[in-house]
Amino acid sequence: MAQFDMPEDRLRSYRPAIAEPEDFDSFWTATLQDARAHSLDLTATPVDNGLALIDTLDVTFAGYDGNPVKAWLHLPVTRTGALPAVVEYVGYGGGRGLPHERPLWAMAGYAHLIMDTRGQGAKGPKGDTPDPDPVGDPAIAGFTTRGIASPETYYYRRVFTDGVRAIDAVRELSEVDASRVAVTGTSQGGGIATAVAGLAPGLVAAMPDVPFLADFARALTITDASPYAEITAYLKVRRDQRDQVMRTLSYFDTANHAKRASASALYSVGLMDQACPPSTVYASYNHYAGPKEIRVYPFNGHEGGQAFHEIEKLRFAAKPLGG
């Protein structure tokens, strides 16, 4: 697929006016207060991952509405004292996987928490966290239209809250230095990482790769690729609900969360990416309030920089995490 979005020089300055509801901050303050009214119910149980150099703990904590959320915590076997931590959120449709699958950050010397995404992981990587609060309203297959009639019932209200509670949880673990926590993720995971960077104070770094969930107004008209296509399919049938849907999405547009983030950020973008069009990534990046850098992959789509970008992230994370 050739480059189809704006030329790169225009992307660098693309900073659209993103619709933001007046009660955006109070909505999220109340949402997180409600979540924190529940006990964190944090447990961390060692499991056999079959790896000689990495220890893995099966972590459970209370997310949105006190629902249990699963995660893996990977640690280098040889460690002294509390470690800086990288919290990772996973891509659309995936789960935390199996305990041996993602050793990179622990091999680099960090504590690495991989959060399951509620209701996802049936197709792979495997997930273990149900979504016990599904809304019975009509929805397109997938997750992006679940409860989309209202911000109170929207699926990503639960997911973003889980993401913040994952930060609360990792900071409680004795193996982790609570003052040195970063977030990362690819695609959906990158969108969650951006939202959490705006909602959880005190993070030292955010590394969103080819992030999803930004600049919905443009994404829904520029790409036919999923997952954005789920929302356009929904509106194709429910022609009278456009304003209602766009209002809901404004609470979850991560460009609005990026405006509130202060951690040092490293973004990535693929200029041939149809799933998360480059302009939507730049909308988030250009609104990001903290110190920031972006790595551009001109001839790549949604795969982004892959192993090449992992090197970039390791280099970037070393300074704020002190690794």
Whether 145 contacts 139, CB under 8 Å: yes
Q: Is 302 a catalytic residue?
A: yes
Catalytic residue among 5, 116, 162, 187: 187
Integer CA distances (angstroms), 98 to 51, 60, 173, 237, in order: 12, 15, 21, 39
Integer CA distances (angstroms), 276 to 211, 215, 302, 303, in order: 7, 10, 7, 10
Strands of the sheet containing 292-297, edge to edge, are 43-47, 54-62, 68-76, 111-115, 83-89, 176-186, 205-209, 264-270, 292-297
**Do the bridges between strand 205-209 and strand 43-47 make them parallel or antiparallel, or are there none, so unpaired?**
unpaired
Q: Is 58 a catalytic residue?
A: no
Catalytic residue among 268, 273, 284, 309: 273
Provide the token pair at 184.
Answer: 């990362």
Catalytic residues: 187, 273, 302
